[in-house]
Amino acid sequence: MTEQVSPTEQVSPDDIPSILERLVDSWYAVGVAEELREQFEGSVERPAPLPGGFDEVGALQEYHRRVVDFQTRQAEVESTVNEASRNYEDAAKEVGRFLPIGNSVRFTYSGENQEAGKESFVISHEVSGDILVENWVSSIPPE
């Protein structure tokens, strides 16, 4: 893992490709984490208590086990989304230190993420200060 640069240090030109790679990695991780959350929310519902109450302690215990299991899985999913988002924000802050506002760069990813392969991305530093990552698609048709 690449060491993060403190805000007061200059970014070495040699570090720029690895920082952009980390940005793309974290961008993918956010997408995967958000998809995981959507799948969880779409497929799992919080267990509902039995109408009319519980006839025995065993039924209450089983209900509570299901609630705890649901809450544990929900917390794991949210933790994954939050961690991916923090990693993206950290990488975006680093990119913001060397990519001028209002400018973009096309970057060909060569990292370990299998989904990205050797894709190209446009990384933009918006006037608002946001760093955006988009897949770049050539307008030239393949021969």
Give the pairing of strands 120-125 and 103-108.
antiparallel
pLDDT digit string (tens) for 88-113?
999 999 999 999 999 999 998 876 66
What pLDDT is recorded for position 110?
Answer: 79
Q: Which segment of 53-67, 73-87, 115-129 scores lowest on mean pLDDT?
A: 115-129
The whole-model pTM stands at 0.77
**Taking Cα atoms as reference points, which of 117, 126, 125, 136 lies closest to residue 25?**
117
Domain ranges of the chain: 14-135
